[in-house]
Amino acid sequence: MNFKNILQQIEKADPEVYERLSGRRQILKSFGSKVAVAALPLAIGSMFKKAYGRTTDVVVDALNFALELEYLEFAFYHTANNTGNLIPAADQPGFLTIEAHEQAHVNFLTTTITAMGGTPFVPKHFTDSTTRGSFVPAAYDFTGGGAYNNVFNDYPTFLILAEVFEDTGVRAYGGQMSAFSGNALLVQAQQIAAVEGRHAAHIRLIRRNAGASELPAPWITNNIPPTTATQANYLGEDNTIQGVGAISIDITTITDGTGTVPKASATAAFDEPLDKATVTTLVSPFLKP
């Protein structure tokens, strides 16, 4: 993890952050050469708490919610990548990369939460004998209570769930972004959300090229799900009104000289956020008691 780059991105996102950190400006800018790598998360966490102490609890809660979803996704892809004859050889490198990204997200979020003085989320059964690092298979039921019994022996079914998890994850991050408003970690939250969006686009294109009936684009269009059983994960995605209050506008009323923006284009241009309660309900069938 390149902490020097992270600090540069933070300064771009919030030029006043170093002023809030007062005399720590030079310490931050010399991390690469003067501070041991192992000490970086704790040092950063301590200074962030001083700079943004009023929002620490809210931010830690949002980070922990993200961590909960990342553990689920990592377990899903790790299981799939280690199931013989599930993923075609041509697609395997892409899913190995996605798994590596999810592992990196778990590591980053865990380290950051600890550095901020919080207690990182861990899945149920984390101490079971089956636990290997971030892989906690005893915590999850990827059949969704029996609805997807062939998820790891039928590639199309696996792809459907992968798409749903990634689409829902993107919307979940969107629902938590307000928690990072005015916080130095906003950039990192947005970067992780962007990576999840790339995962979703990759999986959607695999399904499209394989002839999926709804011919998915790389993004969600209207509120079209991969299957009717997953419609709940896409409710609200057909929204065409963007903005707040008096400055909100229906995108389909915008003209470009040749006509108005089609609804499909208007809905595809925005990922609609999901709140924590809704996401928790959506993923609950995949969690073991």
Q: How many CB atoms lie within 10 A of CB 179?
A: 21
Whether residues 207 and 70 fall in one domain: yes
Would you state the structure tokens that stand for residue 204, as one six-digit string? 């959607």
pLDDT one digit per residue (tens) for the chain, 289 residues? 344 444 444 444 445 444 444 333 343 343 334 434 334 444 455 555 554 444 588 999 999 999 999 999 999 999 999 999 999 999 999 999 999 999 999 999 999 999 989 999 999 999 888 887 899 999 999 999 999 999 999 999 999 999 999 999 999 999 999 998 877 788 889 999 999 999 999 999 999 999 999 999 999 999 999 999 999 999 999 999 998 778 899 999 999 788 999 999 999 999 999 999 999 999 999 999 9
Boundary-marking domain end, from 51, 74, 93: 51
Whether residues 233 and 146 fall in one domain: yes
Q: Is residue 103 part of a domain?
A: yes
Whether residues 97 and 108 fall in one domain: yes
Domain containing 144: what range? 54-237+272-286
Task: Enter the DSSP assignment of 287.
Answer: B
The half-sphere exposure of 163 on its side-chain side, counting CA atoms within 13 A, is: 29
Give the distance between the most distant pair of CA atoms in the chain. Answer: 64
Q: Collapse the DSSP code of 255 into the 3-class scheme (helix H, G, I; strand E, B; otherwise coil) and give the result.
A: strand
| CATH code of the domain in which 80 resides | 1.20.1260.10
How many domains does the chain divide into?
2
- Residue matched to tokens 């971030």: 134
The one-letter amino acid code at 102 reads: E
User: Full-prediction pTM beyond 0.85?
Assistant: no
Whether residues 41 and 153 fall in one domain: no
Burial of residue 178, with CB atoms counted within 10 A of its CB: 0-12 exposed, 13-18 middle, 19 or more buried: exposed
Whether residues 138 and 206 fall in one domain: yes
Q: Is residue 152 part of a domain?
A: yes
CB 1 within 8 A of CB 110: no
First-to-last C-alpha distance (Å) of the chain: 34
Whether residues 120 and 170 fall in one domain: yes
